[in-house]
């Protein structure tokens, strides 16, 4: 009997040693980072730059995979269901993860199905129109929308995303009835605006280069202060809306804690790298560092808080 117990104990120790050794040698191959938005958008631009910088701290290439859809949740949800929690498949997790479950039935849980690694950044949101649009200000756009209910079409990155909810709140607070046209991501809605298929675009700073080039006019941003493009904020224009949308990187649930620590530490170095900070400045995105534990805590708090937002604008799922 003692021999059996000794053998079991020895096997347990060996298994623990194997796990520890695996964590110490990680990574031995490239890592995939899912960007749940189309290529060419603001999130894709940022995370490709981040992945390139982070690769030197991780010691392996980080390959970006675009898997857009479902308001930014198709990629991470599929990862949670199908990928091994071995640290080789990661995903950006947008704030829509904490909103969509309040709006519709989903087969994933934002708290149970992911391991939170690090919080890294947040978007600046704004509304743009083509430079030849008759709308010179946000008030021009709102006035036209009120005079023509349901005819002012705007594009966003999908149902339940921050750009969508910001416009819903704008309509609620001004009495304007807007026509929402959801897209898979910034790149698609940008092309639609350039082609004249929609009248406005609500999104993060993917529109920045088109504003710089003179193709788009920025009517408003939704932060607490003006951005480098110097458009007035919503609050400056008499509309009490302030919003930005932080995000981070997650893995499937069940990740070895040692691998999580390794990835967090490597990504923190990348976050503070001068090349990455330069990219944040170019995109006018905020520096939003959260440790693994703080990021998970923020996720739980945000899931509760977002219910109130969804209910306020009338999109809460009816039980």
The continuous run of DSSP H or E covering 62 comes out as strand 62-66
In sequence order, the 6+-apart residues with CB closer than 8 A to the CB of 151 are: 145, 179
**CATH among 2.60.40.10, 3.40.50.1980, 3.40.190.10, 3.40.640.10 for 126-237:** 3.40.190.10
pLDDT at 81: 97
Can you tell me whether residue 275 is helix, strand or coil? helix
Residues 33 and 250: their CA atoms lie apart, in Å, by 9
Q: Which pair of tokens denotes residue 291?
A: 């440790």
pTM greater than 0.75: yes
Using 70 as the pLDDT threshold, list the residues of the chain that sit under it. 1-24, 319
> Tokens 């756009």 label which residue?
141
Domains 24-123+246-312 and 126-237 in one fold = yes
Sheet holding 152-156, edge to edge: 178-182, 152-156, 200-203, 126-130, 216-221
The two tokens of residue 220 are: 């408003």
pLDDT of residue 16: 43
Which residues partner with 33 through β-bridges?
Answer: 64, 90
- Helix (H) / strand (E) containing 287: strand 286-290
Helix (H) or strand (E) holding 129: strand 126-130
pLDDT digits (tens, 9 = 90+) for 111-151: 999 999 999 999 889 999 999 999 999 999 999 999 999 99
Closest CA to 114 of 287, 269, 244, 300: 300
Tell me what pLDDT residue 17 has. Answer: 45
The DSSP H or E segment spanning 65 is strand 62-66
pLDDT value of position 313: 84
Rounded distance, CA 46 to CA 121, Å?
Answer: 9
CA atoms of 65 and 88, how far apart (whole Å): 12
Provide the residue ranges of all domains of the chain, joining segments of one domain with +.
24-123+246-312, 126-237
User: Looking at domain 24-123+246-312, which CATH architecture does it have?
Assistant: 3-Layer(aba) Sandwich (3.40)
Q: What is the pLDDT of residue 185?
A: 87
Tell me which residue of 189, 125, 186 sits closest to 153, measured CA to CA: 189
> What pLDDT is stored for residue 20 in this prediction?
45
C-alpha 249/C-alpha 116 separation (Å) is 7
> How far, CA to CA in Å, does 43 sit from each of 49, 93, 248, 292?
10, 11, 11, 21
Cβ neighbours of residue 6 closer than 8 Å, sequence gap 6 or more = none
pLDDT single digits (tens) 185-196: 888 999 999 999
> Strands (DSSP E) along 143-244, which ranges?
152-156, 178-182, 200-203, 216-221
Task: Quote the CA–CA distance of 255 and 117 in Å, as a whole number.
Answer: 10
Place of tokens 């202060």: 225
Q: Say whether 245 sits in a helix, a strand or coil.
A: strand
């Amino acid at each position: 009997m003692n021999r059996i117990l000794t053998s079991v104990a020895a096997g347990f120790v060996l298994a623990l040693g194997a796990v520890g050794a695996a964590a110490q040698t990680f990574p031995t191959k490239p890592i995939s980072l899912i960007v749940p938005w189309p290529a060419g958008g603001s999130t894709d631009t940022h995370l490709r730059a981040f992945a390139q910088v982070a690769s030197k701290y991780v010691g392996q290439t980080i390959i970006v995979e675009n898997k857009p859809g479902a308001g930014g949740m198709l990629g991470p949800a599929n990862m949670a269901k199908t990928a091994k929690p071995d640290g080789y498949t990661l995903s950006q997790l947008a704030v829509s993860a904490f909103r969509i479950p309040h709006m519709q039935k989903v087969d994933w849980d934002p708290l149970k199905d992911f391991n939170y690694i690090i919080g890294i950044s947040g978007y600046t949101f704004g509304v743009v129109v083509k430079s030849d649009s008759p709308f010179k200000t946000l008030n021009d756009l709102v006035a036209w929308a009120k005079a023509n209910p349901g005819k002012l079409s705007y594009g966003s990155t999908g149902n339940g995303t921050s750009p969508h909810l910001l416009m819903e709140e704008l309509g609620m607070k001004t009495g304007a009835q807007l026509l929402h046209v959801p897209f898979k991501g910034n790149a698609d809605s940008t092309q639609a605006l350039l082609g004249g298929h929609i009248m406005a675009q609500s999104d993060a700073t993917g529109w920045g280069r088109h504003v710089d080039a003179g193709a788009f006019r920025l009517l408003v941003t939704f932060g607490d202060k003006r951005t480098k493009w110097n458009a007035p904020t919503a609050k400056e224009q008499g509309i009490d809306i302030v919003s930005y949308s932080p995000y981070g990187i997650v893995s499937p649930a069940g990740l070895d804690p040692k691998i999580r620590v390794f990835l967090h530490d490597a990504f923190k170095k990348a976050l503070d790298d001068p090349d990455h900070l330069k990219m944040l400045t170019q995109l006018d995105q905020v520096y939003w560092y959260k440790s693994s534990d703080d990021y998970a805590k923020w996720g739980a708090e945000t899931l509760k808080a977002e219910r109130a937002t969804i209910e306020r604008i009338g999109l809460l799922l009816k039980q």
